[in-house]
Amino acid sequence: MTERVRTTRGSDDRRLAPGVERTLITGGAGFLGSHLCDFFVEKGHHVVCMDNLITGSMDNVAHLFGNEGFSFIKHDVTEYIYVEGRVDNILHFASPASPIDYLRLPIQTLKVGSLGTHKALGLAKAKGAKFLLASTSECYGDPLVHPQSEDYRGNVNPIGPRGVYDEAKRFAEAMTMAYHRYHGLDTRIARIFNTYGTRMRLDDGRALPTFMRQALRGEDLTVFGDGRQTRSFCYVDDLVEGLWRLLNSGEVEPVNLGNPQEMTVLSLAEKVAGLCGGGKEIVFKDLPVDDPKVRQPDISKARRILGWEPKVGLDEGLRRVFAYFKERAS
């Protein structure tokens, strides 16, 4: 059932000032979605945040309540989506996004990638809205090509435990392109690589918040495998800027968005331990099934088409988020 929380007089389009765009963000109370809500409100859009709060949190958007440019609807996007009035843009970010979440919620993850994407695209078609899909680097699976460019088709195990997320996003990309080709919908696809920043849950299972939580609580840091698998970490502000540029571009095929600065997971653990005061032991556990051995975006296309590349290095980004994690780990 849809629960409408009217936080502003602008919750439909009848009182919007001329020229104000109205943007729906599904999954808007999640980590990335909430940062997008902030960004689009600051850009002068009226933002409709939609979330069923299965992994998102009202705490992430509480500061926007009472803002004339923001409203919230509690709704599961796998059900029919109704938004009254005009909608100019839809950013589809609804989905569990961390392994601990999509392994705990496998059916919901598959449904939001398939049914949820279908419902969101249907709304975009009905409203004549521009549509941006949050896809993922997990479309590349455990890649045999390095770094990964958009023309690489991936190495995904469709029946493995991670397949519920990987294949949901691959289906979502196919559905988005079908709506573009068959219905002429104005669509965008962002393949998002590992992103970090404030509002990440300490218990979401991803490497950075897990290391931060463990180090700040004086616990051993858990590294899977031998730690030589690589990742590339993009600060959330950089990613949001890339998404904004992609939305306003004319590119309909997938674009990688991430930071190409590659490092091993063991190096990240050591860096976090040093930032948090050192003295922590690193313990090794078995590598999860189908865990990617390498992950690094080729962002040549984003540089060429969007004029975008990350500006915040990992050391600076970690300093920016340290206080946030420290407060929540205490």
Mean pLDDT of 170-175: 98
Give the Cα separation of 32 and 195 in Å (integer): 9
Res 87 pLDDT > 70? yes
Tell me, yes or no, if 140 is annotated catalytic: no
Which of 4-13, 212-221, 277-286 ranks highest by mean pLDDT?
Answer: 212-221
Host domain of residue 72: 3-196+234-260+296-311
Q: Which of 102, 140, 165, 179 is catalytic?
A: 165
Residue found under tokens 């569990």: 96
Res 186 pLDDT > 80? yes
Q: How far is CA 212 from CA 30, 224, 263, 315, in A?
A: 19, 16, 17, 14
Q: pLDDT tens, 213-255?
A: 999 999 999 999 999 999 999 999 999 999 999 999 999 999 9
Burial class (CB in 10 A: 0-12, 13-18, 19+), 195: buried
Res 8 pLDDT > 60? no
Among residues 244, 200, 301, which one has the least CA distance to residue 44? Answer: 244
Q: Is residue 253 part of a domain?
A: yes
What single-letter amino acid sits at 255? Answer: V
Q: Is residue 210 part of a domain?
A: no
Q: pLDDT tens, 251-267?
A: 999 999 999 999 999 99
pLDDT for 10: 41
Domain count, the chain: 1
Q: Is residue 282 part of a domain?
A: no
pLDDT for 279: 66
**Predicted structure pTM score:** 0.95
What single-letter amino acid sits at 270? Answer: E
What CATH number does residue 164 fall under?
Answer: 3.40.50.720
Q: Is residue 285 part of a domain?
A: no
* The two three-digit tokens of residue 104, written as one number: 């705990």
Q: Is residue 205 part of a domain?
A: no
Q: Is residue 283 part of a domain?
A: no
State the average pLDDT for the chain. 94
Split at pLDDT 50, 70, 90, the class of 19 is confident
Q: pLDDT tens, 124-163?
A: 999 999 999 999 999 999 999 999 999 999 999 999 999 9
Q: Is residue 100 part of a domain?
A: yes
pLDDT for 18: 79
Mean pLDDT of 98-121: 97
Q: Is residue 274 part of a domain?
A: no
